[in-house]
Amino acid sequence: MRFGFISHVVGDEDSAAALRDAVELAVHAEECGFDSFWVAQHHFGAQRAHCPSPLVLLAAIAQRTSRIRLGTAVVVGSLEDPIRLAEDAATVDALSGGRLELGLGAGADARTAERFGRAHEQRHERFIETLHQLRELLGPGSDLVPNAAGLRDRLWIGTASESGFELAAELDLGVLTGRNSSPQGPRDELAAERVAKYRAAQDAAGRTPRVGVSRSVLCADTAATAFEHMKPGIERWVTTSIIAGRFPPGFTARDYIDTGHGYLGTATEVDTAIRRDLVLPDATDFLCNVQPAGPAPEAIRTSMRLFADTVIAQWDVPASHRP
């Protein structure tokens, strides 16, 4: 199992400070022993985020790190020009010494699509077109400069749908998958079925499956402390979700966590919860994030250190040998 961290670069501070914090967080992730650091793309400040250009941010991070893999989770492929995206990705890959992992998605924000002058209902068709052009541009014999040898084998798509998993298997892409919010909790059993089916298809074709499972994680000295760090952000999300009709009136931040939407607690408690995750047996990468909350940078750094010292350090150690 490889372990990574996804930053959505969110916060109430100014954008310059938020972006600098993200660079420092990536440096900290490498120092802690994480295998990868991923950046999400959000346009026009959606979800209080500050990074519409994750490849630019990863180029800066590449100059401050030497080992950790650098990913996008995800770039909205339906809004991108495939040639420019391929050129920017290839440039980051060259600057980082071949460490880029390029994750793409179809996009879920109709308002952003409208601002780009694109029809939101056509996003899946445009996304598939972009994928095919990217695979050609990043493939053997391409005239792309810089040359991005091997980057086509590091393409991922963000999806939770059956058709998305089928597309990933068809095109030999990695899969980045998370959890949908609902009052009853996430449908992990459904996700586990789709991941297992994808892995079986990849194995049958003689290919190497790549499955990144994203989960909301925060470690602290106590479960109560972890919850208090996350509570304000979760409350904002729950309030928005109640207004949108996703959650019933009266649903609380405590309900959100108790229905399985995140792993909060001591590092040992988080480790126990992760090992029970139904999707993990077929995953290759476990990706931590702190969505939908935005705890203080220091709380995130502390969580990463606790997670690395307990979960990452002990993951391959048999239970009978763990302290």
pLDDT tens, N- to C-terminus, the chain (323 residues) = 999 999 999 988 899 999 999 999 999 999 999 999 999 999 999 889 999 999 999 999 999 999 999 999 999 999 999 999 999 999 999 999 999 999 999 999 999 999 999 999 999 999 999 999 999 999 999 999 999 889 999 999 999 999 999 999 999 999 999 998 899 999 999 999 999 999 999 999 999 999 999 999 999 999 999 999 999 999 999 999 999 999 999 999 999 999 999 999 999 999 999 999 999 999 999 999 999 888 999 999 999 999 999 999 999 755 554 55
CB atoms within 10 A of CB 246: 15
Please name the residues in contact with 263: beta carbons below 8 A apart, sequence gap of 6 or more: 215, 216, 217, 218, 270, 273, 274
Q: How far apart are CA 29 and CA 35, in angstroms?
A: 8
From the list 191, 186, 160, the residue with the least C-alpha distance to 257 is 186
Q: How far apart are CA 175 and CA 265, in angstroms?
A: 27
* Fold of the domain built from segment(s) 2-217+277-290+300-314: TIM Barrel (3.20.20)
pTM score, two decimals? 0.96
Query: Residue 72 in contact with residue 125, Cβ under 8 Å?
Result: no
From the list 168, 145, 138, 158, the residue with the least C-alpha distance to 38 is 158
CA–CA–CA angle 213, 234, 229 (5° rounding): 90
List the structure tokens of 208.
Answer: 């190497």
Q: How far apart are CA 55 and CA 62, in angstroms?
A: 10
To which H or E segment does residue 75 belong? Answer: strand 69-76
CB atoms within 10 A of CB 180: 12
Q: How far apart are CA 279 and CA 288, in angstroms?
A: 14
Q: How far apart are CA 58 and CA 269, in angstroms?
A: 32
Cα–Cα distances in angstroms (integers) from residue 219 to residues 1, 232, 252, 307, in the given order = 19, 16, 21, 7
CA–CA–CA angle 227, 28, 316 (5° rounding): 75
